[in-house]
Amino acid sequence: MVTLARKLRVVDYFALGWGTMVGVGWLVVMDDWLLRGGVLGGILGFAIGGALLLPIGYVYGQLVKAMPDAAGEVAYTAKVFPQSISFATGWMMVLAYFIVCPWEAVAVGRIAGYIFPALDSLELYRIAGRPVYLPHLIIGLGLTGLLTALNYRGIRLSATFQNWTAFGTLALFVVFVSFGVAKGSPRNFPPLFTHGEFISILLVLQIVPYFMTGYESVAKAAEEASPDFRSRGFFKAIWMAIIVGILFYTIVIAAVGYVAPWRQLTGEKFMTAVAFEHAVGSRWIVSVILAAALLSLFKVFNGNFVASSRLLFAMGRRGLIDRRVAEIHPRNQTPSVAVLWVGLATAACMFLGDAILVPISEVGSVASAAGWFAACAAYYRMGPAPRERAVAVVGATVGMLMILMKIVPAVPGHFSGYEWLALGIWSAVGVGLGWRERRLATASVASDAIN
């Protein structure tokens, strides 16, 4: 029986977890973060939101040690809940990972257009008032094709790519923050909050699940650990990914607020780069920031590609969706059919253009929180020691509160009509796929009985 290749180490899992978490939001939508909460509101929002994820990270660390299954949340919930719960959890997590792929494919066109303004031409159409340019589509589709081929060929190749881009991003981040902060001033910080203190932090907290999603992707590649890998390495990789993610986001928000009068720059494209250029007075730092952003984009795209394809593969293997998705390439030992489907779906979604960027972060937040809640609830039902059950309760409570923040109409920043529509469409597709597989399974059982 062909199995997935076993070639990953602890450093690979950290690069996957952290790399899948931190993308280019710190460059592309920094103005949205600061307008939501202000500098201090943004820092506290990400710090508090990230810290609240530590109990969830603990639960995932324990679960993946006990059940190193590519199905992740699907496997955990299947052990203690009905199949319908297991399927719904898995389908939401597929959304959480997959939805990032077209986000990054679109973002690379925006970054390229900032570097080479001539690329912002040949407008094909508009969605929600935002233009879709032919050069942007070509660049995004090219990157999608590259990562599809990379993941089709093998996990070691994908992991090497992930490591270089993850650690390269961190190195460039240290360079541009160090030089920029040397030119800044605390006088640039105000306003510390854009709304009341509580509302400012709350509005940022609502998007933290989306921008902190990724640490649990470690579980989706658990079957690909090298033969000499120790299971405690999963726990270390998950916690390090969360901690480094918190530090990255809080530092970059503080740095942008420190280097320039940020309120005057919120209308600028790629506000982070503009703020540092304003402080240093030279274009070279913009080049460093854009290089870091491109490396970050590549790693988060690749990481989410790995996670979504493995989860699709595992759901197919369990018969929750078409079993053909569970096919493993005999030579490359990769989930080749799932990889191709993720690549094709990403390419199709790219045609929605820039209009998908901010709404996607809102829907992705709820999808991620739903998966976290289900994993913690499953761990609680498995009956661990009292202390660990208490951690599971905290994690489940955090997950549920993050869901309620977005779906309760009375809470500022709740879902808009477009976000409910996107979530509804995805849910309907999942219900259709699940019904089809159940119908086929029933027909197969009936046929066997007759024969």
What CA–CA distance (Å, rounded) separates 5 from 246?
A: 32
**Contact yes or no for 320/380 (Cβ under 8 A):** no
- CA angle centred on 63, ends 231 and 72, rounded to 5°: 100
Q: What pLDDT does 147 receive?
A: 95
> Hey, is 22 helix, strand or coil?
coil
10-438 architecture in CATH? Answer: Up-down Bundle (1.20)
Give me the pLDDT at residue 422, please.
78
User: How much of the chain is in helix, strand and coil states, percent to nearest 5?
Assistant: 75, 0, 20
Look at the pTM and tell me if it is higher than 0.95.
no
Which residues lie across from 130 on neighbouring strands?
127
- Token pair belonging to 376: 């913690």
Would you state the pLDDT for residue 278?
87
Residue ranges per domain, the chain? 10-438
Q: Establish whether the linkage from the previous residue to 384 is cis, with ω within 30° of 0.
A: no
Mean pLDDT by 10 residues, the chain (451 residues): 86 95 87 92 94 93 92 93 91 89 87 86 85 91 95 94 95 92 88 90 85 90 92 92 96 94 85 89 89 93 94 92 91 94 92 70 80 94 89 93 84 76 82 72 57 56
Question: Burial of 285 by CB count in 10 Å (0-12 exposed, 13-18 middle, 19+ buried)?
Answer: buried
The span from the CA of 335 to the CA of 314, in Å, is 9
CA–CA separation, 35 and 195 (whole Å): 9
Q: What are phi and psi of 6, to 5 degrees?
A: -110, 95
